[in-house]
Structure 1
Amino acid sequence: QVKLDLKKLRNKFPNMYEKLEYIASLTRQLSIHYKYLGLLMFSDNREIIQNKRPTLIRDSVLKLYEQEVKKVKKDSNFVIFK
């Protein structure tokens, strides 16, 4: 079902799909756990997010990563993905 949903998203909202693909690729390339990405995307609890921040990645790199995730969340079509 997830594959079908992603295919629909790609067809109907290609820009949103590309942004999600970019974030997934960035997450993989930086060796950040997908759980942390999930927290950034779906949680508003700053304390939990702060406590789960990866410790082996430089703070400056994490800040850039978090900014990129925020850009995706600001997309008007993020609600459809969510």
Structure 2
Amino acid sequence: MKKNINQINKEATITVVLYIFYFCWWYYFAYIYKWNNNDFVFGLPSWFFYSCVLGLVVINFLVFIAVKLFFKDIDLD
């Protein structure tokens, strides 16, 4: 049982760290990074592309890697 609790805590910590990273990424590119108003990427404003589109791709890749490397199937009984 103790081993399951340690695994659950590790997975929860990884999940929270990834969420905080994603929020910081999104906030930085949406509000802090200074863009030229005429910058567009694939027809989208640069701030939107980097904060929402690229950020989503990056976090999906990181979550995939985290699940493959650190998450394990455990019996909850």
TM-score w.r.t. the length of structure 1 is 0.40
- Structure number with the bigger relative contact order (C-alpha 8 A, sep ≥ 6) is 2
Greater fraction of residues in strand: 2
Q: Which has the larger radius of gyration?
A: 2
